[in-house]
């Protein structure tokens, strides 16, 4: 309990929750600016600094890519090669098809860090999507 209380005190004294709110809104704006109209992004959602991007074959119908393509895993690998850790998952549509990635940056992130996340994710996304036959 003492460790949990010390953590709670540190979060409050350092203004980390306020930073989560401020930077979470900035991250949402940056992701929507970069990916919001992309034909392979079905949705961008989340709260605070926890954000998810749904990856689809067709934005209008929200039809997912075939599970055989392994889009989320490829995106994780391409992002990691650039120094960005994201959390991939698949099967979100029907247990088999449907890809998404989650982002969960640290509470101490600043505007420069957010820009780096969006830039690296954008480059990884462009790489993966360029290898997918449409």
Q: What is the DSSP letter of 62?
A: T
Spatial distance between the Cα atoms of 101 and 67, rounded to a whole number of angstroms: 14
In this prediction the pTM is: 0.90
pLDDT tens-digit profile of 18-62? 999 999 999 999 999 999 999 999 999 999 999 999 999 999 999
pLDDT of residue 134 exceeding 60: no
C-alpha distance from residue 4 to each of 7, 11, 80 (Å): 5, 11, 31
pLDDT tens-digit profile of 117-130? 999 999 999 999 99
């Amino acid at each position: 309990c003492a460790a949990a209380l010390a953590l709670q005190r540190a979060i409050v004294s350092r203004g980390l929750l306020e930073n989560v709110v401020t930077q979470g809104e900035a991250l949402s704006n940056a992701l929507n600016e970069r990916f919001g109209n992309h034909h392979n992004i079905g949705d961008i959602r989340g709260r605070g600094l926890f954000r998810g991007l749904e990856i689809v074959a067709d934005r209008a119908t929200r039809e997912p890519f075939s599970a055989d393509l392994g889009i989320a895993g490829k995106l994780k690998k391409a992002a990691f090669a650039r120094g960005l850790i994201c959390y991939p998952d698949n099967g979100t549509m029907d247990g088999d098809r449907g890809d998404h990635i989650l982002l969960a940056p640290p509470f101490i992130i600043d505007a420069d860090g957010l820009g780096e996340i969006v830039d690296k994710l954008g480059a990884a996304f462009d790489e993966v999507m360029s290898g997918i036959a449409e």
